[in-house]
Structure 1
Amino acid sequence: MSDKGLSRRQYLTTVGGTAVTLSVAGCSGDGDSGDGGDSGTERPTITAGTAPGFPPFEMKEGGDLVGFDIDLLEAVVSETEYSFEGWEEFEFDSLIPALTNNNIDVIAAGMTINDDRDQTIDFSDPYYSSDQAIVVRSDGDFAPESLSDLADRPVGAQKGTTGEGVVQDELVGDEITENQYNAYDNYVLAIQDLQNGNVDAVVIDVPVANTFAANRPVEVAFVYETGEKFGFGVRTDDDARQEALNSGLSTVREDGTYEELTRKWFGE
């Protein structure tokens, strides 16, 4: 990928920019620094949080949590001194509070690195690049080619995402009213509302849009370039886990695991 070797700080400098379920294992939440515990033999742990409903990054299939982020983070952690303890599931906008409250140790949820989030948490090096897609019904006659074409149309996005930021910053107040914006807890609900005709477009990350388009009667009308990059979120004082994740990311890129997972989940 083109973002290989790009540090979080370099990225910020250059760019500037569904209900909770029981986890399969308990949280560590101890903010340890990777010293292995008092006994000198116990491995430090990582419990991860995610938000299903964001295919192919994270979703539920037959009750199981699967996706690119799931496979990638577990592969990354396996290359570190940490023991992976399992997953906790949240709504997307509850992930950062869960992290800062020590309920989880890492966020792996297709989360875009940006200055606003960087005030509250830190990120690993970027692991995926994406833009925003504007998705419409494939059997409809609405074919927008730019954001201005969404004027006076009901538009949807997931709460707390880059897509919501595009709607709020570029559309609300200029092209659409606040009442014409529909916010959803996850994209499955947003796409379902699109199919049902309750909104005319949904703003969503490109790889997620492509997954929905391959499985539902929706299509990508156009792509709005944002230059966003995804990273794993960690607490601001958790340098040990951040460094371990960066080291693990480097290893899975070099040994071919990253390429295998992108082919598996994106066909790339």
Structure 2
Amino acid sequence: MAPPLGNDVHTFRSVHRHSRRSVLGGLGGLAALGALGAAGCTRVASASDKPGGDLLERLRAQGVVRLGIAGEIPFGYIDKNGHLTGEAPELAKVVFRRLGVGRVQPVPTEFGSLIPGLNSQQFDVVAAGMYVNPERCQQVIFADPDYQMLDSFIVRKGNPLGLHSYKDVVAKKAKFATGTGYAEIEYAVGAGYQQGDILIVPDQVAGLNAVEAGRVDVFAGTALTVRAVVKKSSKAEATAPFAPLVKGKPHVDGGAFAFRSAETALRDAFNVELHKLKTSGELFRILKPFGFTEAEMTDLTAKELCGG
């Protein structure tokens, strides 16, 4: 999932907010989400002074870990039957079971509230396919990425403006939209697009609606979410995936689990199990049902993406 910039708070022009949960799960999913959210709103215990933290020990004692999710397919969401799923929650179930924590509990929140919610101890870990970037690495610590991702555009059928990169968007003076807190904001601005002219919408579904209605020419998101959301559209299509330019060089993003900065012991233990899953091929088997391909498996590290 694309990351927010800075401290995850942005003020832009926005369109009417469609309910992401109602789109994903219907009324049944929405009701279940409300119940799960209510169950998960109590804050977790305060942090320990123990070097490396003692959260893993406490989670083992409790038998449950609370996952911050943002309700975005395919990263982490509640399905139409009210069940927690998505690439990150399914991976979390496997890893935490191996760590001696038998149950996961979702705490749904807005994407831009994931890091503040984690650091205010509303949940134990962010399990939302969150991109790793230097700004975010100043606020939390990350496991190594479990996937890598390119960008893609939603455009009208036939791509009438010929938009294949952020430079194209700037050159064609296209009306540009992306999601709340998405990394694509930064990529567009880096290509020369005026930040104040970007239309910010809640998610890729709202982005598709904006393109189909002609409010914008293009919506930018991850290649995976874009290709999934246009499948049933008769008016829009996805462009070929591409790497955005950062400081003049192609950049590949990586998504990972985020932890509070003091909880290095939990992060390190998580990484050990994650790398075992990568080596065995089990990681790909977990992520494949959510549309991930072998090209999106990665050996990127959090240290690389944090700029270390």
TM score, norm. by length of structure 1: 0.80
Which residue in 2 is equivalent to 1:57? 75
Change (3 A) 1:87 1:59: closer
Tell me whether 1:202 sits opposite 2:219 in the alignment. yes
Secondary structure of the equivalent of 1:168? helix
Partner amino acid for 2:214? G
8 Å Cα contact 1:74-1:84 kept in structure 2: yes
Q: Is 1:67 matched with 2:86?
A: yes
Match of 1:3 in 2: none
User: Could you say which residue in structure 1 is the equivalent of 2:231?
Assistant: 214
C-alpha separation between the residues in 2 aligned to 1:250 and 1:199?
A: 41
Q: Distance in 1 between matches of 2:117 and 2:240?
A: 34
1:224 to 238, 242, 258: 242
Q: Choose the corresponding residue for 2:287, options 237, 262, 267.
A: 262
Are 1:57 and 1:69, in contact at CA under 8 Å, matched by a contact in 2? yes
1:1-268 aligned at under 5 Å gives the runs: 18=20, 21-23=34-36, 25-26=39-40, 29-30=44-45, 31=47, 33-34=54-55, 36=57, 42-43=61-62, 45-53=64-72, 55-62=73-80, 64=82, 65-138=84-157, 141-151=160-170, 152-173=173-194, 178-179=196-197, 181-217=198-234, 218-225=236-243, 226-266=251-291, 268=293
Q: Give how far 1:229 is off.
A: 0.7
2:70, 2:56 → 1: CA distance? 30
CA displacement at 1:83 relative to structure 2: 4.1
- Match in the other structure for 2:14: none
Superimposed CA distance per residue, residues 6-34 of structure 1 (whole angstroms, 9 cap, x where no aligned partner): xxxxxxxxxxxx48845364456223614
Specify the SS of the correspondent of 1:214.
coil
In 2, are the aligned partners of 1:22 and 1:89 still within 8 Å (CA)? no
Closer/same/farther in 2, CA of residues 35 and 265 from structure 1, 3 Å limit: closer
Instruction: For residue 125 of structure 1, give the secondary structure of its aligned residue in structure 2.
Output: coil
Question: TM-score, normalised to structure 2's length?
Answer: 0.70
Which 5+ residue runs of structure 2 have no aligned equivalent?
A: 1-19, 22-32, 49-53, 244-250, 294-308
Match of 2:17 in 1: none
| Conserved? CA contact 1:155–1:202, under 8 Å | yes
Task: After superposition, give the CA deviation of every residue in 1:154-207 in whole Å (9 maximum; x if it has no partner).
Answer: 11111212122212332423xxx623x111222221222222221111111111
Q: Could you tell me which amino acid in structure 2 is paired with residue 147 of structure 1? A: Y
Which runs of 5 or more residues in structure 1 are unaligned? 1-17
The residue identity in structure 2 corresponding to 1:164 is I
Letter in 2 for 1:238: E
Alpha-carbon contact 2:87-2:129 (below 8 Å) kept: no
Residue 147 of structure 1: how far off its partner (Å): 2.3
Which deviates more, 247-256 or 105-114? 247-256
Worse overlay, 143-152 or 202-211: 143-152
Instruction: Indicate the RMSD between aligned Cα atoms, in angstroms.
Output: 2.5
Per the TM alignment, residue 80 of structure 1 is displaced from its structure 2 partner at its CA by 0.8
Match of 2:11 in 1: none
C-alpha distance 111-22 of structure 1, shift in aligned 2 (>3 A) = same
Deviation at 1:85, TM superposition (A): 3.8
Distance 2:224 2:56 in 1: 38
SS state of the match for residue 144, structure 1? coil
- Identical amino acids, percent of aligned pairs: 19
Secondary structure in 2 matching 1:111: strand
Query: Partners of 1:171 and 1:77 in 2: how far apart?
Result: 43
Q: How many residues align?
A: 243
Q: Aligned with 2:219: secondary structure?
A: strand
